[in-house]
């Protein structure tokens, strides 16, 4: 009993044969088993004309009939309609050997006379092949749509060597490069050098698990700027080969927002200096580092003389202007891009941490700040500064106390003075 194959009902089949008994057998079998009706022509010329007018899935053709026929017909049909399956039928196998028929482009071959079961088996194979090919094409189109239209950057890598096999438009936009500039290049070349080893280690882990995620990779754009991306990976296999499927999301804006928020949490809004919380954290780290590396560290504590009087006389707007000017003086007097850090610890109290300086360096910086402050419109205020250099016998509290004692001495000596802890 032949199993019903209901999904073949929409198959479009053209029969070309001038032998009525064969046409009747094939038509009857197609209708009974496959549930589809066939179109019929009786010559090669009619077949070419019909194929030009309509779309067919399968062309069943006799090898000897009026008009164009035989290998010439098959060659012409497969050249014009390469996606269609051709099945040859003949009662003259010696004249049309199987190998030559297949080389001409036919997918299969039937020797006349043939049984209905043989016809069914051949057509099932052909139609199954077409169905699988169609499903593969649909799957590929879905993949291409998901791949190409995704707003995230997508990259397909060959597992061996991590060479770029495919990229989507979003990835090209992300990198500012064309597809041609990316294909066949090593993927790690687009990463900053410091992230390449981390990426390779991550890939080793993902090969074992089949998938994974990694955050905050830095990628180099065509103009040399850096962007931050998060990536997910899936290992995929196709035709015996293994590939790496990567998806990238641009996190640059998010990282910048996080960075600004982190800076805001550490920074005094009025002066732009680090705040008191940052001072507490950083002085502990600085003391620990100085102990471990035996490096030089100094603390300057700064107090504005007569600031309360200035506020009472000129108002808080002038007071805020003055505090902002202190921040500018401190930043202009220290190495902000290297070893030194300025802080507003509250009200009119400020601090500076100096790292890795030469003999006398802290005193030079303190005097520089005091003199710069004298040069501006300071509304009758001045700077008193206490300086202490860290030594291994101190903890954080003792270090701060030494600078605070020096500041007290500076105040006691008439203000607008720098004193060094003895």
pLDDT tens readout for residues 19-35: 999 999 999 988 888 88
Q: Which residues contact 19 (CB under 8 A, 6 or more apart)?
A: 62, 112
Domain annotation for the chain: domains and CATH numbers:
6-144 (3.40.50.2300), 150-254 (3.30.450.20), 267-420 (3.30.70.270)
Over residues 358-383, the mean pLDDT reads: 93
Give the integer Cα–Cα distance in Å for 216 and 275: 28
Q: What is the pLDDT of residue 256?
A: 80
Note the pLDDT of residue 6. Answer: 40
Say if residue 79's pLDDT is above 90: yes
Residue 161's pLDDT band (boundaries 50, 70, 90)? confident
DSSP assignment string, 115-134: -HHHHHHHHHHHHHHHHHHH
Q: Give the pLDDT of residue 140.
A: 67
pLDDT of residue 239: 62
Q: Which range, of 60-74, 134-148, 193-207, 208-222, averages the lowest pLDDT?
A: 134-148
Cis status of the peptide bond prior to 212, with omega within 30 of 0: no
Which pLDDT band, with edges at 50, 70 and 90, does 338 fall under?
Answer: low
Query: Would you call 17 a catalytic residue per the annotation?
Result: no
Query: Do residues 278 and 343 lie in contact, with contact meaning Cβ atoms separated by under 8 Å?
Result: yes
The larger pLDDT score, comparing residue 119 to residue 145, is at: 119
The string of DSSP codes covering 79-107 is: HH-TTSEEEEEES-TTTS-HHHHHHHT-S
Least confident window among 29-43, 185-199, 234-248: 234-248
Dihedral sign computed on CA atoms, order 265, 271, 274, 280:
negative
Residue with tokens 């399956």: 85
Sign of the Cα torsion 14, 15, 16, 18 reads negative
* Tokens matching residue 238: 């196709």
pLDDT for the residue 7:
65
Give the mean model confidence (pLDDT) for residues 272-288. 91
Provide the β-strand partners of residue 88: 61, 109
Report the C-alpha gap between 319 and 300 in whole angstroms: 22
For the chain, percent of residues with pLDDT exceeding 90: 57
Higher pLDDT, 283 or 148: 283
Q: Which residues contact 195 (CB under 8 A, 6 or more apart)?
A: 217, 218
pLDDT of 159 reads 80
Q: Which residue out of 45, 348, 377, 405 is catalytically annotated?
A: 348
What is the rounded CA–CA span in Å between residue 163 and residue 185?
5
Q: Residues of the chain with pLDDT > 70: what percent? A: 95
Q: How many CA atoms lie within 13 A of 75 on its CB side?
A: 8
403-406, Cβ contacts within 8 angstroms, sequence gap of 24 or more: 403/299, 403/300, 403/301, 403/351, 404/301, 406/301
Report the alpha-carbon angle 296-340-401, nearest 5.
60
Largest CA distance in the chain: 126
Give the pLDDT mean for 170-178. 92
**pLDDT at position 2 over 50:** no
Nearest residue to 307 (alpha-carbon basis) of 232, 158, 416, 388? 416
Where does the pLDDT of residue 326 fall: very low under 50, low under 70, confident under 90, or very high at 90 and above?
Answer: very high
How many residues does the structure list for the chain?
422
- What does the alpha-carbon distance between residue 26 and residue 6 come to, in Å, rounded to a whole number? 18
Write the burial class of residue 319 (CB in 10 Å: 0-12 exposed, 13-18 middle, 19+ buried).
buried
| Helix, strand or coil, per DSSP, at residue 190 | helix
Q: What span, in angstroms and rounded, lies between the C-alpha atoms of 45 and 164?
A: 49
Q: Tell me the average pLDDT across 88-113.
A: 90
CA 143-147-152 angle, to 5 degrees, is 150
**Does residue 293 carry a pLDDT above 90?**
no
Whether the pLDDT of residue 243 is over 80: the answer is yes
Q: Is the pLDDT of residue 1 over 50?
A: no
């Amino acid at each position: 009993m032949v199993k019903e194959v209901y999904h073949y009902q929409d198959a479009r089949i053209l029969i070309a044969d001038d032998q009525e008994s064969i046409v009747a057998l094939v038509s009857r079998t197609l209708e009974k088993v496959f549930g589809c009706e066939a179109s019929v022509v009786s010559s090669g010329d009619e077949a070419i004309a019909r194929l030009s007018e309509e779309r067919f899935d399968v062309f069943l053709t006799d090898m000897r009939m009026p008009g164009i026929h035989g290998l010439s017909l098959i060659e012409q049909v497969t050249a014009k309609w390469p996606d269609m399956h051709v099945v040859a039928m003949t009662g003259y196998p010696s004249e049309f050997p199987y190998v030559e028929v297949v080389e001409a482009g036919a997918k299969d071959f039937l020797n006349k006379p043939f049984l209905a079961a043989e016809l069914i088996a051949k057509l099932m194979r052909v139609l199954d092949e077409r169905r699988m090919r169609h499903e593969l094409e649909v799957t590929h189109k879905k993949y291409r749509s998901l791949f190409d239209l995704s707003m995230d950057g997508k990259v397909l890598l060959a597992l061996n060597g991590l060479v770029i096999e495919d990229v989507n438009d979003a990835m090209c936009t992300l990198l500012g490069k064309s597809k041609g500039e990316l294909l066949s290049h090593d993927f790690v070349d687009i990463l900053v050098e410091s992230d390449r080893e981390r990426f390779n280690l991550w890939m080793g882990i993902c090969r074992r698990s089949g998938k994974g995620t990694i955050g905050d990779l830095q990628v180099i754009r065509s103009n040399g700027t850096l962007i931050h991306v998060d990536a997910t990976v899936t290992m995929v296999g196709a035709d015996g080969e293994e590939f790496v499927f990567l998806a990238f999301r641009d996190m640059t804006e998010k990282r910048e927002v996080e960075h600004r928020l982190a800076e805001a949490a550490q920074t005094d809004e009025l002066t732009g200096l680090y705040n008191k919380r940052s001072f507490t954290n950083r002085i502990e780290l600085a003391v620990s580092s100085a102990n471990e590396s035996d490096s030089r560290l100094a603390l300057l504590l700064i107090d504005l003389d007569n600031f309360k009087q200035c506020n009472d006389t000129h108002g808080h707007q002038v007071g805020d202007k003055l505090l902002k000017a202190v921040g500018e003086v401190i930043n202009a007097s220290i190495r902000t891009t290297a070893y030194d850090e300025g802080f507003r610890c509250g009200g009119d109290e400020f601090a500076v941490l100096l790292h890795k300086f030469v003999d006398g360096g802290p005193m030079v910086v303190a005097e520089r700040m005091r003199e710069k402050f004298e040069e501006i419109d300071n509304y009758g205020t001045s700077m008193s500064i206490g300086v202490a250099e860290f030594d291994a016998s101190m903890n954080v509290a003792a270090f701060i106390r030494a600078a605070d004692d020096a500041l007290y001495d500076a105040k006691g000596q008439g203000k607008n003075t720098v004193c060094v802890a003895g």
